[in-house]
């Protein structure tokens, strides 16, 4: 085995969009020094994971290796890249690096979470670099849907990796500089061993439109709106917030931000200069006093989140902000897969109130922050990597990115899975090992292993209900009182109209009578016989088996 190699392992973000966490290692099989890039979350689908808010990468491998970790670098401030830090950083306690906006938004997020630990961030200027053990990391500006998205050029004694992070090509972004073609080309001239790249839009042909095109459409739609206007977008999309604010000024409307996440990002963007020159916004209290054609509400809730501003407005439950017939709502956003039902619920709520709803299916009111196929080809042409590893995508996106890279002449294309350890050099790239990986669920204030049975039994409970039975026996094995029972989430009666409680009660008695007398003294045997009988009797009438808990008290 070579004494010194460069390896890469994704602990999240491969085969899924979300939960990005990659590690790079330099050393040999006995001891490696590790650099971590990003530490993000995924959002859980409630139907599949009831009660779970967030999914985090399982970092037990990094906890074990924490003395060999030289640092954790954030590419940008999206939740799928930094959302797991507040929960996971205390287990690692490694130095953190980020550019000013990312650091400031992270700090604001941390302060919004009660009891969150203090987490120091080392601020690296945009376009700056940091030396961490055997790694020198250069931050290269790329356009994306949040300020200060960075590709990382990671130089090591065994070659340079370009970790693209999330990017697109936008010659005219509303804020920030365009993707730094000059630096990326120079990096290519120096030689790039591997490119680990964003695959999100690898199935979309052509190039994505510019943020400036979206700004034009928004201006038209806001200027020609007859009454009130509400715009919803991703709270962190400062460029879009700026475009909406500019459009509102042209239309003579005051901007009223609604929703905590929106207010937080606006404050951070003001502090870091990304809203310089933008008019002051108004408090939500002033919304009701402004004439309909002089106001614009800028709302959270583009994904149909039930507690966010727009859903509450659609339900007519928001204390300050109301909409009526003739008002216009613009979804300057895309529905993230899994959120379709929630978004349609909000849209339908608004439409039933006579509100006009405009989405990206009819107007250019949103563009993605990720590269389409021609943009992916440009990146390969600039950087000319020896190896390309598709990342940040579902299996289809990764496969299409891989095909595109091969067709573009990249000599080695490696597709991998979370937990694969890939040797990038020396020699041909190859999956050489596996590191422990997996998922954690954020359940209330606790982190659960995805393998724990908690969520699976919660899901079963949601589908089938529970019967609780309490029996009191004396030491001769005789029932000393009528059984107590409670049914939760089970139909009250069967098809013939017979009460399910009576059915369960009869099943308990029959099961008890059928048990030979000596065995009635064993509480465990009684409990098991009753449990089976109750589940069987209810299943016979319902065709579904409930949970059944039997408590036997011996008095």
- Residue numbers at the binding site for Zn ion (CB under 5 A): 78, 80, 166
Q: Phi first, then psi: what are they for 239, rounded to 5°?
A: -60, -45
Task: Provide, rounded to whole angstroms, the least separation between the CB of residue 127 and Zn ion.
Answer: 19
The helix-helix angle for 260-271 and 100-112 (nearest 10°) equals: 140
Task: Provide, rounded to whole angstroms, the least separation between the CB of residue 229 and Zn ion.
Answer: 27
Q: Which is nearer to Zn ion, 239 or 477 (CB)?
A: 239
Task: Provide, rounded to whole angstroms, the least separation between the CB of residue 239 and Zn ion.
Answer: 13
Q: Which is nearer to Zn ion, 41 or 405 (CB)?
A: 41
Q: To which H or E segment does residue 296 belong?
A: strand 295-299
| Cβ within 8 Å of residue 50, ≥6 positions away | 455, 458, 459, 462
How far apart are alpha carbons 199 and 402 in whole angstroms?
9
* Pairing outcome for strands 295-299 and 254-258: parallel
Task: Provide, rounded to whole angstroms, the least separation between the CB of residue 272 and Zn ion.
Answer: 17
Q: Could you tell me how far CA 46 lies from the centroid of its own chain?
A: 13
Task: Provide, rounded to whole angstroms, the least separation between the CB of residue 453 and Zn ion.
Answer: 31
Task: Provide, rounded to whole angstroms, the least separation between the CB of residue 10 and Zn ion.
Answer: 13
CB atoms within 10 A of CB 528: 15
Q: Which is nearer to Zn ion, 27 or 338 (CB)?
A: 338
> If you search the block for the tokens 């439409």, which residue do you land on?
351
Task: Provide, rounded to whole angstroms, the least separation between the CB of residue 490 and Zn ion.
Answer: 43
How far are the Cα atoms of 8, 231, 245, 293 from residue 290, in angstroms, in the given order? 56, 17, 16, 8
Q: To which H or E segment does residue 541 belong?
A: helix 523-542
Q: Could you tell me how far CA 225 lies from the centroid of its own chain?
A: 33
Q: Which is nearer to Zn ion, 166 or 356 (CB)?
A: 166
Task: Provide, rounded to whole angstroms, the least separation between the CB of residue 406 and Zn ion.
Answer: 24
Which strands make up the sheet holding 412-413, listed edge to edge?
Answer: 129-132, 135-142, 149-156, 159-163, 194-198, 387-391, 412-413
Q: Which is nearer to Zn ion, 15 or 292 (CB)?
A: 15
Q: Could you tell me how far CA 54 lies from the centroid of its own chain?
A: 7
How far apart are alpha carbons 230 and 251 in whole angstroms?
13
Q: Which is nearer to Zn ion, 78 or 163 (CB)?
A: 78
Task: Provide, rounded to whole angstroms, the least separation between the CB of residue 383 and Zn ion.
Answer: 19
Query: Would you say the C-alpha torsion 70, 76, 80, 82 has a positive or negative sign?
Result: positive
Q: Which is nearer to Zn ion, 259 or 393 (CB)?
A: 393
How far apart are alpha carbons 101 and 266 in whole angstroms?
11
Q: Which is nearer to Zn ion, 164 or 219 (CB)?
A: 164
Q: Helix (H, G, I), strand (E, B), or coil: what is residue 99?
A: coil
Q: Which is nearer to Zn ion, 40 or 188 (CB)?
A: 40
| Cβ within 8 Å of residue 124, ≥6 positions away | 97, 98, 99, 130, 139
Task: Provide, rounded to whole angstroms, the least separation between the CB of residue 294 and Zn ion.
Answer: 34
* DSSP 8-state symbol, 319: S
Q: Which is nearer to Zn ion, 33 or 179 (CB)?
A: 179
């Amino acid at each position: 085995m070579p004494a010194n190699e460069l390896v890469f392992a994704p602990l999240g973000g491969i085969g899924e969009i979300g939960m990005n966490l990659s590690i790079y290692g330099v050393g040999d099989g006995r001891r490696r020094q590790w650099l971590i890039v990003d530490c993000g979350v995924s959002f859980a689908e409630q139907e599949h994971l009831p009660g779970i808010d967030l999914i985090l990468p399982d970092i037990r491998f990094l906890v074990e290796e924490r003395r060999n970790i030289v640092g954790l670098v954030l590419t940008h401030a999206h939740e799928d890249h930094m959302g797991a830090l507040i929960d996971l950083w205390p287990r690692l306690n490694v130095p953190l690096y980020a550019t000013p906006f990312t650091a400031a938004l992270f700090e604001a997020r941390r302060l919004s979470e009660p009891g969150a630990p203090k987490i120091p961030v080392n601020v690296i200027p945009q376009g700056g670099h940091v030396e961490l053990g055997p790694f020198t990391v250069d931050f290269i500006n790329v356009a994306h849907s949040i300020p200060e998205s960075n590709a990382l050029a990671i130089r090591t004694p065994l070659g340079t990796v370009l970790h693209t992070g999330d990017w697109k090509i936008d010659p005219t972004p509303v804020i920030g500089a365009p993707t730094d073609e000059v630096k990326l080309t120079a990096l290519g001239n120096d030689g790039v061993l591997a490119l680990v790249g964003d695959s999100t839009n690898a199935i979309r042909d052509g190039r994505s439109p510019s943020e400036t095109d979206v700004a034009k459409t928004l201006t038209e739609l806001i200027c020609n709106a007859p009454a009130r206007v509400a715009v919803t977008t991703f709270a962190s999309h400062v460029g879009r917030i700026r475009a909406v604010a500019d459009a509102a000024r042209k239309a003579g409307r005051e901007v009223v931000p609604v929703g905590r996440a929106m207010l937080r990002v606006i404050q951070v963007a003001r502090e870091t200069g990304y809203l310089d020159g933008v008019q002051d916004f108004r408090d939500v209290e002033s919304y009701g006093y402004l004439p309909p054609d002089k106001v614009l509400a800028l709302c959270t809730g583009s994904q149909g989140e039930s507690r966010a501003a727009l859903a509450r407005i659609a339900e007519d439950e928001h204390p300050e902000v109301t909409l009526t017939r003739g008002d216009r709502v613009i979804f300057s956003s895309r529905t993230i897969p899994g959120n379709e039902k929630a978004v349609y619920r909000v849209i339908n709520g608004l439409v039933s109130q006579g509100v006009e709803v405009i989405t990206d299916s009819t107007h250019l009111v949103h563009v993605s922050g990720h590269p389409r196929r021609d943009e992916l080809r440009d990146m390969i042409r600039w950087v000319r990597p020896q190896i390309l590893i598709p990342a940040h995508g579902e299996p289809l996106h990764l496969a299409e990115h891989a095909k595109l890279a091969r067709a573009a002449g990249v000599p080695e294309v490696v597709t991998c899975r979370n937990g694969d350890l890939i040797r990038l050099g020396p020699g041909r790239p190859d999956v050489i090992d596996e590191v422990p990986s997996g998922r954690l669920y954020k359940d209330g204030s606790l982190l659960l292993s995805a393998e724990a049975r908690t969520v699976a039994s919660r899901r079963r409970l949601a589908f089938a209900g529970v019967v609780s039975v309490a029996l009191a026996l004396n030491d001769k094995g005789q029932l000393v009182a009528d059984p107590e029972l409670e049914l939760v989430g089970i139909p009250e009666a069967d098809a013939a109209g017979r009460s399910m409680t009576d059915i369960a009660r009869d099943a308990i008695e029959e099961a008890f009578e059928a048990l030979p007398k000596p065995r009635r003294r064993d509480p465990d045997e009684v409990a098991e016989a009753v449990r089976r009988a109750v589940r069987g009797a209810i299943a016979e009438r319902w065709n579904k088996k409930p949970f059944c808990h039997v408590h036997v008290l011996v008095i």
